[in-house]
Amino acid sequence: MTATVASHELYAKHSDTLQRALTAIAERGYWSAYPESPSPRVYGEGAASAGAADFRSYLGTDFPLDQPGDSVVATESSPFGIALDVRYPHASPDALIDAATGVLPAWRAAGPQVRAGVCLEILARLHEHIFELANAVQFTTGQAFVMAFQAGGAHALDRALEALAYAYAEQTRHPAAADWEKPAGRGDPLRMNKTFHVVPRGVALVVGCNTFPTWNSYPGLFASLATGNPVIVKPHPRAVLPLAITVRYAREVLVEAGFEPDIIQLAPEGPDEKLASTLALRPEVRIIDFTGSTGYGEWLEANARQAVVFTEKAGVNAIIVDSTDDFAGMCGNIAFSLTLYSGQMCTTPQNILVPRGGIETADGHKSFDEVAAGIAGAVQKLTGDDARAVELTGAIVNDAVSARIEAARGHGTVLLDSRTVNHPAYPDAVVRTPLILTQDSSQVAVFDGEWFGPISFVVATESTDESVALFRRTVGAKGALTAAVYSTSPDVLAAVEDAAIDVGVHLSANLTGGVFVNQSAAFSDFHASGANPAANAALTDGAYVSNRFRIVQSRRHI
């Protein structure tokens, strides 16, 4: 640590941001540190084009990462159909682990404040490159640009800062040292000085996902880094670039602050290498953050027993439709949620539970078919124009999703078919609009598992009571990241809230405007609950950070 002064300066430089974030996590009202609008009025005239150029400069080249490698890997292909061909240095598990364990003592010794300063500088650096990041997210995940900028850029940075704030708060809730003076009757009191060392668990592994490489990885990455754990970032083979850019700038900041860059390493894998599994079972790896399939998440939980494992897996998100005083607003809001990123969000609703006798609205009674048609019509409206549609849907992340759309058609009555859209700018992009099916509640086996992608079911139930029962059953068994209810009845709202508490899922009520069930706001909304099978943790709370380090104390008499 030759540059302790520099790293202390980083804390001072960013302490206002940290303090504001600490206030935000305690209040959980609205706050954001990184503007979500990509407008030139916010980011300056040349920012967008410069970021796009920076992104394009990576394509077809060796990614500029100062990590030694035994080979190079290039595994990405863009949902937008453009050639990526970025080559990343590949390292062996031994090399990665050795490097991480080697740098641990210095990063541990830096302490919470210096680490927070360095992490905040990394976030600031990433923010400077937000357009470059956004392009990388867009072209690896298939997200439309604005979403990639927001979810993949500004919101990801907000979530990172939120995790960092929790990590800092947790590490500093105890003093670094304390005097202890115990009265001893008539004699002198017993006096000791105690030092409380924050000790990281060990090496942290972050396993990224295809759809949200930054948003879903940043909280764990920065929570582990801030608590002193060197981090190995294993990106999804199809979404390496956003995390490579992240690691590149993080290493740059670490070196500037006088640390070894291997405090964070990229671990891209070759085809069928199963690098995540190899790393996950190493005894040195003591923390794992994973977002992805239920199967692999459960494998990690069952097998990586030496580590604390945080998983976000699949769920079956549901909406209970009971009644509404804004039928058009309801249909439009639901339609937006189904359409955004072609339903490829872990938070996209899947099952829309509607009484088969219909519902009451401010415009009078609507039959089941009218409700279903209202939602389908709203989706059609959002996706009718190709050029506008693609800015919402983005592209399909991989062939499995396209195949799932085909397969789903046979599992209900097609209410609105998915159509292929020609992307005006990217002729080889794979774009599909949402498929909406109707189903009967008796066919629960069809819709009680996740159909990841733009596939949803409007389910005819006997009554709202049956909708609630079905909600309890499916979410209780398979979990969910989100749930929503539409009702004008306080009793129904209360009953659904009780059910949501019982099955442990976050609930949104009567969303008819500019807030959507599949979006959560950093510093205010908890993402996932850790209280149902869809995830064993939340972004972000005390439990998400508190076991990433331990306190080791020493004491001696004064």
- Binding interface with a copy of itself (CB under 8 A): 25-30, 105, 108, 170, 173-175, 178-182, 184, 190, 192, 194, 196-197, 199, 201, 301-302, 305, 493, 497, 500-502, 504-515, 521, 524-526, 529-531, 538, 541-543, 546-547, 550-557
How near is the Cβ of 187 to a copy of itself at its closest, in Å?
8
SS3 call for 521: coil
How near is the Cβ of 360 to a copy of itself at its closest, in Å?
19
Instruction: State the Rg of the chain over Cα.
Output: 25
Nearer to a copy of itself by Cβ, of 175 and 295: the residue is 175
CA distance 119 to 166: 13
**Lookup: tokens for 418:** 């998915």
Nearer to a copy of itself by Cβ, of 473 and 555: the residue is 555
How near is the Cβ of 105 to a copy of itself at its closest, in Å?
8
Nearer to a copy of itself by Cβ, of 375 and 537: the residue is 537
Nearer to a copy of itself by Cβ, of 153 and 530: the residue is 530
DSSP for 271-300, written as a single string: TT--HHHHHHT-TTEEEEEEES-HHHHHHH
How near is the Cβ of 407 to a copy of itself at its closest, in Å?
32
CA distance 551 to 255: 27
Helical (H) or strand (E) element with 460? strand 455-461
How near is the Cβ of 553 to a copy of itself at its closest, in Å?
5
Peptide bond preceding 540: is omega within 30 degrees of 0, i.e. cis?
yes
Question: Would you say 258 and 4 are in contact if contact means Cβ atoms under 8 Å apart?
Answer: yes
SS3 call for 163: helix
DSSP for 166-223, written as a single string: HHHHHHTSS-SEEEEEE--TTSPPEEEEEEEEEEE-SEEEEE--SS-TTTTTHHHHHH
> Could you tell me the end-to-end alpha-carbon distance of the chain, in angstroms, rounded to an integer?
30
Nearer to a copy of itself by Cβ, of 31 and 63: the residue is 31
How near is the Cβ of 358 to a copy of itself at its closest, in Å?
23
Q: Is the dihedral of CA 407, 413, 417, 418 positive or negative?
A: negative
Strands 203-207 and 285-291: parallel
Question: Would you say 544 and 527 are in contact if contact means Cβ atoms under 8 Å apart?
Answer: no
Nearer to a copy of itself by Cβ, of 170 and 322: the residue is 170
Nearer to a copy of itself by Cβ, of 5 and 192: the residue is 192
Nearer to a copy of itself by Cβ, of 300 and 397: the residue is 300
How near is the Cβ of 251 to a copy of itself at its closest, in Å?
25
Q: Tokens 């940290």: give the residue.
A: 18
How near is the Cβ of 304 to a copy of itself at its closest, in Å?
12
